[in-house]
Chain A
Amino acid sequence: MTAAPNTLSPLAALAWAAAATLYSVLFLGAESERALGTLLVIAAAGVVLGARFGLVDRIRASIGGNERAFDIAAIAGVLVVGLWFHEEHFIILMMTTALLLMVAALGLTIQFGYAGVVNFAGAAFLGIGCYTAGVVTKYTALPSFLTLPLGGLMAAIIGSILILPVLRTRGHYAALVTIAFGILFKVFLEVNDTLGGPQGIQVKPIVLFGWNFNSPIRIGDFTASFYFSYLLLALLLLVLSFALVRRLERSWIGLSLDAIRLDEIASACYGLNLARWKVLAFTLGNFLAGTAGAAYAHVLGFIAPNNFTFGDSLILVSIILLGGLGNLWGVAVAAAFVVILPEKFQVIQEYRLVLYAALVILILLFRPEGLLPRQLRDYVPGAKPQRGRSHAEERVR
């Protein structure tokens, strides 16, 4: 790679953000499966050629050196796509779903990607948030926007039931504990009449300062889908949780979580309190999943136990594996992929779990670090000129 002095100019990063935005508009707007297929082939070819000619490295360096600019460009990109399709209920709903799943997957990243605590009950924690929103709006007179923090809190509190078994078990056994919890949760929902049983319950919309989120936005000639307010809310949640998780990773806490995942004995000999950090990661991750869940419940308007199956938990896990364990942008890309692809290709809708399974197996076989492998920790970006290489590149050398 030629390290030209202009590699750190924001141009490449911004051009990339613009290209991704344009691509999203084309992809979401494409009607025929032929057009979609062509777009997918173009994307694949672009990635392969980009990697071949060093474009990917240049974009990565540019993003790393101009982080703030790229962050803003990414947010602007989502807004542009949202505005482009502002009247299309279905597309806005799809985008909102993707953004909220990203939030939940970020929670899982703290648990699994950093602290190494597996959680195969992601959908259950999402569900706790959903049902909290349902119960709060149905049985209490609390302001409806409070459901978001309450949903997160409930997920964190109920998750603490699992803390003891999760701390005492490792690897497969911890996975089994969380799988059991996820199944228990769904059965509990089905038999509990207060929570609506198998039929589920209705969730009232969020009302903030007299503004009902479910009503369409009208400003002059501009009319947006009734999902549009939720898209903005989901984007806000995503930005906040992204900033939180990124700062966490770039701190001594992130270092401690990594150390515990990689070597418990060495960590203990250097004073790290294993239980404390695992509990923090687990609780914080569940909080994010629960918050995303509460928002999602308002979006859906109606929730039932079948929304929170083991299969849905697996989808969350496959998002973080596909994206690259611990890479936050990877989570974003993979979540968009996993949500949008089956919706656009109705043919594969039926087989989507099969597709994800095949995809995860392929990724684990050929690119075990995910689509976007996690980079070395850079505590304060821009503080030092030379940048570390990724583990994957190092292995190749």
Chain B
Amino acid sequence: MSAALLGCKGVTCRFGGLVALARVDFEVNDGEIVGLIGPNGSGKTTLFNVITGIYGADEGAVTVGGTDMTAATPQAIYRAGVTRTFQRSRMCLPLSVFDNIMVGNHKRLNHGLVFNLLRRGAFAAELVRNREEAHELVKVFSRELAGRIEEPAAGLPMIDRRRIEICRALISRPRLVLLDEPSAGMTHEETRHLMDDILSVRERLPGLTIVIIEHEMGVIERVTDRCVVLNYGRKIKEGTFAEVAGDRQVQEAYLGVA
């Protein structure tokens, strides 16, 4: 039997006396789109931070493709094929759009001193290859944006910055992408566009697995195969959107009914 692509077993994370995550079990299989939902402060982003190695888990284990990655650094997680976006945009604004995407391609670029400083012909060839690849990827999101990849990232509107951040997460051909509230700060219309983009990217990259944190239930209903609900750091429900939305406990968590 093949192991789940991502496995969290009894993951616990404390900040001093605050228990941000309490024995969370969470599995993601190849090719799924899983929604991670829950009220503010329920531990969704913390779970992403533990998975990507920014925080260490106090208890429990994280596996990627069956290999234990609990104590792995963010760099090792990236090399294992897990990338992410951030809730608050983390772009390098003074750099060009292309540069920003290339930051995400770190493991596929040659960083040797000799290659970069002396073998400029070979470098130029690698550059052209990557520029085409980035162009193709951005084109899936927006043709117009693809024509602007040599411009400064600071000049892009919010929705395009999100798109570029997602491209940065996708360019290295990861197995699993963690999207932390991609629609934050966008209008309904923009959110709808972005979700169309994400679905069409998935068609183009079969086998891509996505975990998405989202507050817009319409989005969750539309794109996810399965949902996991967190509340106060505990997993309170797991299932399809319909199952989750109909659950009394989940409704209480969101509406605050005692």
Contacts and interface: CB of A to CB of B under 8 A. Distances in A.
Nearest to B116: A251
Q: How large is the interface on B (under 10, 10 to 19, 20 to 34, 35 or more residues)?
A: 35 or more
Contacts of B54: 265, 268-269
B117 A376 contact: no
B58 interface: no
A368 to B, nearest CB: 12
Interface in B99-122: 99, 102-104, 106-107, 109-111, 113, 116-117, 120
A253 B113 contact: yes
Contacts of B235: none
B240 interface: no
A259 B92 contact: yes
A397 B155 contact: yes
B117 A388 contact: no
Given A244-B117, A272-B106, A388-B96, A379 B90 contact: no
Contact of B102 (A252, A376, A386): A252
Interface in A233-262: 244, 247-248, 251-253, 255-256, 258-259, 262
Contact of A268 (B75, B99, B109, B151): B75
A255 B103 contact: yes
Contacts of B96: 376-377, 388
Contacts of B86: 265-266
A265 B77 CA distance: 13
A291 to B, nearest CB: 17
Contact of B127 (A272, A380, A386, A389): A380
B74 interface: yes
A263 B74 CA distance: 14
Contact of A383 (B91, B93, B124): B124
Interface in A32-88: none
Contacts of A306: none
B81 to A, nearest CB: 11
A152 to B, nearest CB: 16
Given A263-B92, A391-B152, A270 B116 contact: no
Interface in A257-292: 258-259, 262-263, 265-273
Interface string A196-228: 000000000000000000000000000000000
A258 B106 CA distance: 13
Contacts of A388: 96, 150-152
Contacts of B106: 256, 270-272
B79 interface: yes
B232 interface: no
A252 B95 contact: no
Interface string A367-397: 0000000001101100110101101001101
B150 A384 contact: yes
Contacts of B124: 379-380, 383
A267 B83 CA distance: 11
Contact of B151 (A251, A253, A258, A389): A389
A286 B11 CA distance: 45
B52 A269 contact: yes
B74 A247 contact: no
A248 B116 CA distance: 7
A40 to B, nearest CB: 31
B210 to A, nearest CB: 16
B84 interface: yes
B73 interface: yes
A271 B127 contact: no
Contact of B123 (A251, A269, A270, A377): A251
Contacts of B226: none
Contacts of B172: 270
Contacts of B90: 263, 265-266
Name which of B103, B104, B117 has the most chain A CB atoms within 10 A of its CB. Answer: B103
A239 to B, nearest CB: 15
B186 interface: no
A253 B120 contact: no
Given A258-B95, A265-B74, A383-B127, 11 more contacts: A248-B116, A252-B109, A252-B111, A255-B103, A266-B86, A268-B74, A269-B52, A270-B104, A376-B151, A377-B99, A391-B154
Interface of A: 244, 247-248, 251-253, 255-256, 258-259, 262-263, 265-273, 376-377, 379-380, 383-384, 386, 388-389, 391, 394-395, 397
6 contacts: A251-B116, A251-B123, A258-B94, A262-B92, A271-B79, A380-B124
8 closest cross-chain pairs (CB), A and B: A251-B116, A271-B78, A262-B92, A268-B74, A266-B90, A271-B106, A252-B109, A259-B103
